[in-house]
Amino acid sequence: MKPTQLLSYIYPMTKTIASKYSGILEITWHNGKKYLNSKNANYSYGSLQKILKFGIEQTKLKKVNSILILGMGGGSVVETLRKDFKYNKSITAIEIDPVIVDIASTEFGISEDEHLHIHCTDAYSFVKTNKEQYDLIIVDVFIDLSVPDQFLSETFWDFLLRLKSSRGDIIFNAAVKDSKNENIQQLIGYLKTKIYKVDVYENVNDTNTLIILKSL
Ligand SMILES: C[S@@+](CC[C@H](N)C(=O)[O-])C[C@H]1O[C@@H](n2cnc3c(N)ncnc32)[C@H](O)[C@@H]1O
């Protein structure tokens, strides 16, 4: 065990890195585990990782051959897919922040390889222009505690639904403690007119709202 990891059982150890998009980011060792946090939110490898794991459990991952992740962060969902679910097929991950792409690689060992393609770009533009389809799409785009408004718009979801294969599912991490948000409620209503099944899970891990869209 590294000295930092060992000491973190006695007291949390944090280093900070400035990001143009998310303000001050914190990489914290606590009780032997490393986390990526923004000022008010856990971005990767903590509660967020558990929340997305719950989402994946609601899907039929065995039938999935390709995954698109919008909002790669430190890559904790990539770790979950590989370690907990033994998923070793294709993953395409989109992340707007080059500082975070670098943190994913240097701090958490998540970098491009034969099965992981990382695009450092805006997820909205990617979804608007991309033509490939995926069997599972995970939407986890946050700036600190909020999902930017554009990802709650019907236009974005019209673009996104084109990228879902005919048997594909979508996991949308929609809110932290704000599920009654009018924009989210409106979006849920819209999605129900577009897709076979829309399941809304509130207070996942006591905090987040996950929306899971399922194909027939
Ligand atoms: C909660 S973190 C993602 C955590 C990640 N899914 C994981 O498994 O560790 C949210 C991420 O969304 C990214 N983000 C915010 N706006 C974005 C955008 N317009 N396009 C792409 N990524 C964006 C942030 O930089 C941040 O890394």
SS3 annotation, the chain: CCHHHHHCCCCCEEEEEEECCCEEEEEEEECCEEEEECCCCEEECCHHHHHHHHHHHCCCHHHCCEEEEECCCCCHHHHHHHHHCCCCCEEEEECCCHHHHHHHHHHHCCCCCCCEEEECCCHHHHHHHCCCCEEEEEECCCECCECCHHHHCHHHHHHHHHCEEEEEEEEEEEEECCCCCHHHHHHHHHHHCCCCEEEEEEEECCCEEEEEEECC
Average pLDDT over residues 150-156: 97
Average pLDDT over residues 86-101: 98
Share of the chain above pLDDT 90, in %: 88
Sheet holding 116-119, edge to edge: 116-119, 90-94, 66-70, 134-139, 164-176, 208-214, 197-204
What's the pTM? 0.96
Domains for the chain: give ranges and CATH numbers: 44-214 (3.40.50.150)
Confidence tier at 7 by pLDDT (50, 70, 90): confident
Between 10 and 163, the higher pLDDT residue? 163
Q: Is the pLDDT of residue 1 over 80?
A: no
pLDDT at site 178 = 72
Average per-residue pLDDT in the chain? 95
54 lines ligand 1 (CB under 6 A): no
pLDDT at site 16 = 97
43 lines ligand 1 (CB under 6 A): yes
CA-closest residue to ligand 1 atom 26: 73
Distance (angstroms) between ligand 1 centre and the Cα of 73 equals: 5
Confidence tier at 10 by pLDDT (50, 70, 90): confident
pLDDT at site 111 = 98
142 lines ligand 1 (CB under 6 A): yes
Average pLDDT over residues 79-91: 98
pLDDT at site 177 = 79
Average pLDDT over residues 147-154: 96
Q: Is the pLDDT of residue 149 over 90?
A: yes
pLDDT at site 11 = 87
Average pLDDT over residues 161-166: 97
Average pLDDT over residues 31-59: 96
Among 2-6, 146-150, 189-193, which stretch is predicted with the lowest mean pLDDT?
2-6
Confidence tier at 179 by pLDDT (50, 70, 90): low
